[in-house]
Structure 1
Amino acid sequence: MAGHSKWAQIKRKKGANDKKRSAMYSKHIRAIQAAVRSGGSGDPAGNLSLKNAIAAAKTDTVPADNIENAIKRAVGAAEGAAEYKEVTYEGYGPGGTAIFIETLTDNVNRTVADIRAVFNKRGGSLGNSGSVAWQFEKKGVLLVRDTSERAQETAIEHGAEDIQESEDGLEISTAPNDLYAVQDALAGAGFEVESAQVTMIATNTVAVGGDDVRKLLTVIDALEELDDVQNVYSNADLPDDSDD
């Protein structure tokens, strides 16, 4: 969610209970297998979608064996296996926030019905295509456990567009295609890269406070629990203690 440190998002995901963690792993496995089939290759070196899917899975601590097995199953999948396609949805949440939803689905009618039901029950509304997408842009984001000038210079030299310093390290933004060049340069220089993935970043934010914080997080949690939903992004600027 915009306004939140990426470190806070990672902490929140890693702190998920076992049931939520299992569901999260399943979503990543689906994304990896879909990337293999759509990209026509099980080699991330030649399949950027797969490379991105693996990076996202590693950020959420999906075990390497699970990732490897998912790729093998996708490469050897028989004809007639479920074909998932990427579909995005847009909506409005509590506090006037914009919500952008990425899904992988084999049944669009089911997916849109489930998403609409969450909005109707939890607050907010499903919007038309293009209603909020303009408020987000795709970026590469790296989290580096170092705040030194050398780390920042290394990132800038290899394509970093923006660098934000936090108490835990550097949050580095890049163009999507420059993400892995910056990651490789930092790792090669000896810096610990906590995560590197392509994500959606809000270009403007909406401050949310009071009871709207709880309502918004309830909507986002409910959307993330849907099997077909891969990622949920919001332009909410939330209080620092909203993940506690």
Structure 2
Amino acid sequence: MGRVFEKRKHKMFARFDRMAKAFSRIGKDIAIAVKHGGPLPENNPKLRMCIQNARGVNMPKDRVDAAIRRASSKEEKDFQEVVYEGYAPHGVPIVVECATDNPTRTVANIRLAFSKNGGAMGNSGSVAFMFERKGVFKFEPSKLNLDEYELDLIDAGAEDIERGDEDTIVYTKFTEFGHMAKFLESKGLEAKSSELQYVPTTTKELPEDQQDEVLKCVEALEADDDVQNVYHNLA
């Protein structure tokens, strides 16, 4: 009984950690959007997308509003978006997206996370060529009628559409991301999340024990407060 309780408690804390990380990530996205385009969603497409993404992870409206107010104040930090590259154990390429007010601190922490977990940080461009920058729009299947909109989505720049039980995912080329976002807005189609991601061009198969070593490195990178996203090509 005690072991079952401990497992449930561990899962609960893990869920809270993921939620806290998602809220922190979106808070930084909001700060960057407001600094670049102002605090009014109607005049700032990037901010509208951040608010939409916040709804997708059930971030409370008062926290979103507070993040916008904070980003509008002079006290809010200026976050820089930076990308680092490297290898996890067994040669798995990693791309790490960060938003930081102190790149010197961040690069040191990222390098340490790689080295302490069997990986190695690389130079700019060392692994990025193994990924393609794409727009990724995730929908709840019940909120996107593909029978009605599939051809329109293709016309709007959809390169691939994945149908799943939990998500319908629409991929676009990097250059078509804005076009797709405008199309969805014009049709009142609300994605659960809309973002640019590094999608691997090929995937790597590893035995389970080696997968665990790679995922340990990924988790260490994701745990850093400055890290927004970690991408890899592990199958």
Same fold, TM exceeding 0.5? yes
Aligned-residue sequence identity (percent) comes to: 35
* Pairing of 1:60-139 with structure 2 (within 5 A): 60-75=57-72, 77-78=73-74, 81-139=76-134
Secondary structure in 2 matching 1:120:
helix
User: What is the match of residue 28 of structure 2?
Assistant: 30
Task: Out of 91-100 and 169-178, give the one that drifted further.
Answer: 169-178
Query: Does structure 2 retain, via aligned residues, the 8 Å contact 1:123–1:219?
Result: yes
TM-score, normalised to structure 2's length?
Answer: 0.81
User: What is the match of residue 210 of structure 2?
Assistant: 212
1:86-111 residue CA offsets vs partner (Å, 9 max, x unmatched)? 11100111232111111111211211
* Pairing of 1:189-204 with structure 2 (within 5 A): 193-204=191-202
Distance (whole Å) between structure 1 residues aligned to residue 133 and residue 13 of structure 2: 26
User: What is the match of residue 241 of structure 1?
Assistant: none
User: What is the match of residue 234 of structure 2?
Assistant: 236
The aligned length equals: 218
Going from structure 1 to structure 2, the CA distance change for 1:42 and 1:150 (only over 3 Å counts) comes to same
Going from structure 1 to structure 2, the CA distance change for 1:195 and 1:87 (only over 3 Å counts) comes to closer
User: What is the match of residue 38 of structure 2?
Assistant: 41
How far the C-alpha of 1:35 sits from its partner, in A, is 2.1
- Decide which structure has the larger Cα Rg and report it: 2
Q: Provide structure 2 residue ranges, at least 5 long, that are not aligned to the other structure.
A: 1-11
Which one has more relative contact order, counting CA pairs under 8 Å at least 6 apart?
1
How far the C-alpha of 1:45 sits from its partner, in A, is 4.1
Which among 217, 224, 227 is matched to residue 226 of structure 1?
Answer: 224
| 2:15 is equivalent to residue 17 of structure 1 | yes
The structure in which a higher percent of residues are helix is 2
* Pairing of 1:105-184 with structure 2 (within 5 A): 105-144=100-139, 145-146=141-142, 148-174=146-172, 175-184=176-185
Going from structure 1 to structure 2, the CA distance change for 1:62 and 1:91 (only over 3 Å counts) comes to same
**Amino acid across the alignment from 2:34:** V
Query: Does structure 1 retain, via aligned residues, the 8 Å contact 2:131–2:198?
Result: yes
Secondary structure in 2 matching 1:62:
coil
Secondary structure in 2 matching 1:90:
strand
Distance (whole Å) between structure 2 residues aligned to residue 167 and residue 159 of structure 1: 23
User: What is the match of residue 11 of structure 1?
Assistant: none
Distance (whole Å) between structure 2 residues aligned to residue 35 and residue 61 of structure 1: 19
**Amino acid across the alignment from 1:64:** K
Task: Out of 98-107 and 27-36, give the one that drifted further.
Answer: 27-36
RMSD: 2.5
